[in-house]
Structure 1
Amino acid sequence: MARLNPSNERLKRDYIRYLKEAKGKSEATLDAVRKALARYEACTAAKDFKTFRREQAIGFKARLAETEGVRTGEPLSASTQATTLAALKEFFTWLAWQPGFKSKIHMADIEYLGPSNKDAARAKAPKLRDHPSVEQVRAAIAAMPTETAIDRRNRALVAFTLLTGIRDRALVSLSLGNVDTSRMPPVVRQDPNSVETKFAKAIVTYFFPVGDDLAAIATDWIEELRQVHLFGPTDPLFPRTRMGLGEAGGFAPVGIEREHWSNASPVREIFRKAFERAGLPYFPPHTFRHTLVHLAQTLCRSPEELKAWSQNLGHENIATTLTSYGRIDPHRQGEVIGRMGREEENGGGDALAQIGAILARHRGCSPA
């Protein structure tokens, strides 16, 4: 059993309360801080935080580089190490200003918790993200059964994720009233007062142009909820599975109920089974956002279209869309560069010039 230090536990409790109540940090951020502190205490055998010295920081960094991830069994990534060190640095900086610690924790020692320049660069290096093609998503949906309400819910859930690029936490908190199918294209209003959006942002998303057949799957499900199951505006768009007595005598899924899922774990399991059934590798829901951004790179022909696409994903800045989700794999990069050369010979490139002008204005300068 892990050793507990009562003094440290009190300090951790006070710090977590400070982050939550004074700094407004999310629960996900608080969990990351707890994990960082737990790793540090495991390395120091839960020694009092007041004994912190630069030698402990150096030793912890070495130990952290050798630590294996629980899920992967591989050494922690450079970004995970950098995040852990940053969390500890902020904690000890806070601690150094607490009564009774100003003479014990030295700011110069805290600086030793920073990663090396090389490790910091590795942590910030962009990574290629595996994501499904639209054809792979279609294949997964086509392989899904449709016999029961649960089957149709699952099928609509996968289609809806590609149609909207919605994050899974927001997806499970959506209600029927958040979707307006009377408009063309249908619109999803993610109200942060009821929907778990990132940074509590209000997001308005119209169905992306990925196919009328996929839109029909989602809208047919919405009509089934309204007409067959008699769901109202406050009922969940993708309701929780109702468990009951199955034909074999044990507990089994028997339908849907008017309750939201408490977390997104069931959604990820639905995705996993859908891709496995189609004989494809598993792609989590969030990878669909990467699919949509790469689709934008081939469909958008003007700055206005690119901005609308970006805004549809909930991004305030086009740069977020292009840098966080739009990295092109090297093979595709070569194809694009080659095509651009041919287009330039034929008098193309106007759209690129317009996009360059917009980005230049955003940086506060005029294009060269």
Structure 2
Amino acid sequence: MAKRNAQNERMKRDYVLFLEETEGLDEKSTDKVLAAILKFEESTGFKPFTKFHIEQAVQFKKELNRAKHPRTGKALSHATVDATLALVRKYFTWLSGRNGFRSKFTYSDAAYFKNNRKNARIAHAQRDVPYPSLPAASRAFEALPSDTEVQMRDKALFAFLMLTGARIGAVATLKLKHVNLTECHLRQDAREVATKNAKDIDTWFFPVASAYLDCFAAWVAYLREDKFFGQEDALFPKALVGVKDGEGFANLGLAREGYASTASLNKIIRNAFSRLGMPEYTPHSFRKTLFLLGVETCETLEEIKAWSMNLGHEHLSTSYQSYLPMSRERQREVLKRFRS
């Protein structure tokens, strides 16, 4: 493998600083930028950015369209290719105005990273998001065992997602102090919880089946009364792994810290469905389940607005665009009712 270019690395660091200070991007966002730029560097054999030429951009687009996902082995999605090209194009646009680069290539040269219209249109097309129906979610939930601490946690996680529709990134950082069972309230304080766009979010539990609240309340009581967890301890702690006599490494119960990433929590929910032969619905799909419940339940615009805010959406249009896209055919069906 070719060795990374030191000058390139310095410029990438400068660019990350620029994004952090001028656009307020966090580390997770800048990591995506760096990953996209790295893909381009790999395609050129880590040639210095000062040697950039439009043929490199053209070749990079071809390679992306041929590339396979490292885990699935399938071709990269149109959305992934489009997003990668956009990130690299933005970087070279910025680079074209920097000292030492203005004479090497121009702003218009960076435009060669632009995706073609057909693929860009496919990448940005609005698609229906798979989601579990309320009966499907209930069936998966009821089938979850709760014999061990870890199983109790997994079932409580499922229940909590149905009660709140919280994003899994935020859930991974929640502590006991963020939940008020008396008020059936979740406070997502952006200073401590990894909310989207660092927004404070107040969520009162959605009116779903009582089994979800019973399960989650029992879990909180178990953490407080049996495990002696405090306010600063994780709401959904990671498993504690250690050496067990005669068994080697084994699960020893629960730690007091949450997971550093969302991968394990996502897997818990996906497996809850797949073990019953259902599609592997993700935690995020619960948000659509809950929003569609609101569409059926709410009778006034004020009610649906409050329901949308409960999901962390400042604008009602965000909820509708994300979870209730309408095709031309569906528009026709709805309007035909008024003539019947």
> TM-score, normalised on structure 2?
0.92
8 Å contact 1:268–1:284 — kept in the other structure? Answer: yes
Residue of structure 2 aligned with 1:196, choices 194, 197, 200: 194
| SS of structure 2 residue aligned to 1:251 | strand
* Inter-partner Cα distance in structure 1 for 2:23 and 2:339: 55
**Stretch deviating more after TM superposition (206-215 or 312-321):** 206-215
User: Deviations 1:53-75 (Å, cap 9, x if unpaired)?
Assistant: 22222222222222222233222
The aligned counterpart of 1:63 is 63
The aligned counterpart of 2:73 is 73
Structure 2, unaligned runs of 5 or more? none
8 Å contact 1:143–1:277 — kept in the other structure? Answer: no
* Inter-partner Cα distance in structure 2 for 1:22 and 1:297: 39
Q: C-alpha displacement at 1:328, in angstroms? A: 5.9
Q: C-alpha displacement at 1:166, in angstroms? A: 0.7
Residue of structure 1 aligned with 2:213, choices 212, 215, 224: 215
The aligned counterpart of 1:5 is 5
The aligned counterpart of 2:40 is 40
Residue identity opposite 2:205 in structure 1 = F
Residue identity opposite 1:43 in structure 2 = S
Within-5 A mapping of 1:1-368: 1-183=1-183, 186-246=184-244, 248-327=246-325, 333=330, 337=333, 341-342=336-337, 344=338
User: Deviations 1:172-229 (Å, cap 9, x if unpaired)?
Assistant: 111111111112xx01000011111111100000111111111111111112222222
CA RMSD across the alignment: 2.2
Q: C-alpha displacement at 1:330, in angstroms? A: 9.4
* Inter-partner Cα distance in structure 2 for 1:314 and 1:218: 21
**Residues 330/94 of structure 1: CA separation in 2 closer, same or farther (3 Å cut):** closer
Q: C-alpha displacement at 1:324, in angstroms? A: 1.4
| SS of structure 1 residue aligned to 2:257 | coil
**Residues 249/62 of structure 1: CA separation in 2 closer, same or farther (3 Å cut):** closer
Q: C-alpha displacement at 1:329, in angstroms? A: 8.3
8 Å contact 1:150–1:256 — kept in the other structure? Answer: yes
* Inter-partner Cα distance in structure 2 for 1:147 and 1:328: 43
Q: C-alpha displacement at 1:246, in angstroms? A: 4.0
Q: C-alpha displacement at 1:248, in angstroms? A: 4.8
* Inter-partner Cα distance in structure 2 for 1:145 and 1:330: 44
Q: How many residues align?
A: 340
User: Deviations 1:134-183 (Å, cap 9, x if unpaired)?
Assistant: 21111111111112222211111011011101111111111111111112
Residue identity opposite 1:298 in structure 2 = E
* Inter-partner Cα distance in structure 2 for 1:210 and 1:238: 21
**Stretch deviating more after TM superposition (157-166 or 32-41):** 32-41
| SS of structure 2 residue aligned to 1:278 | coil
**Residues 306/26 of structure 1: CA separation in 2 closer, same or farther (3 Å cut):** same
Q: C-alpha displacement at 1:129, in angstroms? A: 1.4
Q: C-alpha displacement at 1:249, in angstroms? A: 2.0
**Residues 239/330 of structure 1: CA separation in 2 closer, same or farther (3 Å cut):** farther
Structure 1, unaligned runs of 5 or more? 347-368
* Inter-partner Cα distance in structure 2 for 1:261 and 1:201: 21
Residue identity opposite 1:197 in structure 2 = T
* Inter-partner Cα distance in structure 2 for 1:270 and 1:329: 33
User: Deviations 1:30-50 (Å, cap 9, x if unpaired)?
Assistant: 122112112211222222211
* Inter-partner Cα distance in structure 1 for 2:109 and 2:254: 56
* Inter-partner Cα distance in structure 2 for 1:175 and 1:208: 20
* Inter-partner Cα distance in structure 1 for 2:74 and 2:326: 26
* Inter-partner Cα distance in structure 1 for 2:58 and 2:300: 51
* Inter-partner Cα distance in structure 1 for 2:246 and 2:292: 46
Q: C-alpha displacement at 1:307, in angstroms? A: 0.6
Residue identity opposite 2:292 in structure 1 = H
* Inter-partner Cα distance in structure 2 for 1:279 and 1:60: 40
| SS of structure 2 residue aligned to 1:240 | strand
* Inter-partner Cα distance in structure 2 for 1:105 and 1:258: 53
